[in-house]
Amino acid sequence: MTTFLFVLGMARSGTSAMTRVLSLSGAALPPGMIGASKANPRGFWEPRQASFLNENILRRHHSTSADPTLRLHEEAADRRDIAEIHAYLTTLRQSDVYVIKDLQITPIAGMWFEAARIAGHNIGAVIAVRHPREVIESVTAMLPIVKPELAAALWLKNSLLAERYTRAAPRVFVEYCYLLEDWRREIKRMSTALDVDLNPDEIAINEYLAAGECHQQADGSACPEPFGTDWLTTTYQNLHRAAGGDTWREDELDRVFGDYRGSEQRLRTALDNYQRVTKAQRLIPRKLILEIAALAHRRKGTWA
């Protein structure tokens, strides 16, 4: 029986670093990675086929990774989607532990969990935590078409869904700055919480991780609140406490989730920006570009 570890949360929250550290600690990576780029010179560690699969599922439900709404969360699980994920999982070679990460996976994490369970596998989740100000600055620096309001909404959506979808699963909250500060401590926390044996390659991890790669640092500053609420502050405070092993309140996240779900009028600027991003994405044949890039890199290194 395989244990699938899913790295969830908002992009630019250290998800790539967490995935790579897990892979250097014995968790297998699926073949065919989206490799390094200027935006992430150490590699994304996302399997291309899983990424294409997630993209197709989101489009089938009239959504994308830049969608700030919770409309997909409200829909019943589609058996076709789960069957396609299940078929992908059956193509992977046998391993005791796999780690899977994709920037589009959090909104449909429930489908991945169900597909893995149907296949008879165990699941676990690593929820990436990072100060929203750092994430917003990182996202908008990498993708200028994404404005701060949309980046904030996406941070909130992915953070809330990552916590919500994993309540019945083994999980661990990992703050990016804590991973950089003491990766050995965080690996031990992950191993204990997820009940998996992790055997880190210390030399490889030390070479991979570099605190200097964390360019945006909030340094204790207040969370931005572009919607005139306390949503980001309340969500981050609770996830930060969870990552630090302190007491946190699930009911406060439930309150934010309910408020966010019922207040799309507050998201007008973010929704307008989402429409512009979606139009731009339609002009870019992402699958073709990534496959050409993989061929150019001979499917080696971070593109293996």
d(CA 226, CA 46): 30
* Burial per residue of 241-263, b for 16 or more beta-carbon CB atoms within 10 angstroms, e otherwise: ebbeeeebeeeebeebbeebeee
d(CA 70, CA 157): 7
Residue 168 neighbours by CB under 8 Å, 6+ apart? none
Q: Can you tell me the distance from the alpha carbon of 27 to that of 300, in angstroms, rounded to the nearest whole number?
A: 19
Q: Are 6 and 100 in contact (CB under 8 A)?
A: yes
Domain spans, the chain? 3-297
The torsion region of residue 191 among left (phi > 0), alpha (psi -120 to 50) and beta comes to: alpha
The predicted model scores a pTM of: 0.89
* Residue pLDDT tens, the chain, 304 long: 999 999 999 999 999 999 999 999 999 999 999 999 888 889 999 999 999 999 999 999 989 999 998 878 877 778 999 999 999 999 999 999 999 999 999 999 999 999 999 999 999 999 999 999 999 999 999 989 899 999 999 999 999 999 999 999 999 999 999 999 999 999 999 999 999 999 999 999 999 997 555 555 656 789 999 999 999 999 999 999 999 999 999 999 999 999 999 887 678 778 778 777 877 666 566 776 778 778 777 888 888 9
Q: Which amino acid is it at 129?
A: V
Q: Just give the CATH number of 3-297.
A: 3.40.50
